[in-house]
Amino acid sequence: AGERVFIHGGSGAVGLAAVQIAKRIVGPDGIVVGSAGTEAGQRAVSEAGADAVVNHRAEGYLEEAKKTAMGGFDVILEMAAHVNLPADLSLAGRRGRVCIVGSKSQDVGVNPRHFMNLEVDVRGVFLGCASREELHATHAALQSAIEDGSLSPVVGSELPLSEVQLAHKEVMQPSSGGAVGNIVLVP
C-alpha cells in the first residue's frame, strides 16, 4: 500500500487490467500513472482508475510522469521493454522495480549506472514460468478482484473467430494507432 506505480503502455488489455489491479493494491495513499499513445487510450486509462495519464508519444512525457511521483516510481510495469527500458530506468525511484511484462526479442542498450545509482531491480514476468501454486494464487486474486468490482475487463473490439489472423495483427499493430482493451473473438 502507498506505492507509486507507472504502467508504461496502460491502454492495452494487460495495461488496463494492471491499472485496475494496481489501484486496488496501492490504496488511497498510493498513486497509479499510466501511459497511452492515443486520446482513446488515454481516456481508457483514466476510466480504469489511473490517478494521472501521460501520452507516451508526446515529447516530455517522462518529465510529466516524474512530476506525479517525486522521488521516482516504486514499480514500473513495462509492456514494450525493447523500446522503453532505458526510459523506465529514468523513472524508477530508489530501490524501484521494473517488471517487464512484454518485449520483442531484440537487444536493448542501457547504461548500467542507472541500475546501480538507485539500486533498481529489473525482472521479467512470464506467466508460463509460474508454479501451480502461483497460478492458483493468481487466479484466486483475480477472481476476488472481479467479484469485488475492482477489476472489470475492457472489451476494445470484437471480431469473428474466422478473423483470428486479423486479431493477431491488431494485437501487434493496432489499426487505430494504439491499443485500447481486449480483442474478443466471437463465433
pLDDT in tens, 158-186: 999 999 999 998 888 888 777 888 899 99
Between CA 11 and CA 8 the distance in angstroms is 9
E strands, the chain, in order:
4-8, 31-36, 52-55, 73-78, 92-100, 121-124, 155-160, 182-186
Between CA 38 and CA 174 the distance in angstroms is 11
Predicted confidence band of residue 113 (pLDDT cuts 50, 70, 90): confident
Amino acid occupying residue 186: V
Asked if 36 and 80 touch (Cβ cutoff 8 Å), the reply is no
Predicted confidence band of residue 93 (pLDDT cuts 50, 70, 90): very high
Question: How far from 11 is each of 20, 53, 54, 103, 180, CA to CA, in Å?
Answer: 11, 10, 11, 16, 5
How many of the other CB atoms lie within 10 Å of CB of 18? 26
4-8 and 73-78 beta bridge pairing: parallel
pLDDT recorded at residue 114: 84
pLDDT recorded at residue 180: 87
Mean pLDDT (whole number) for 107-122: 91
Grid cell locating 7: 504502467
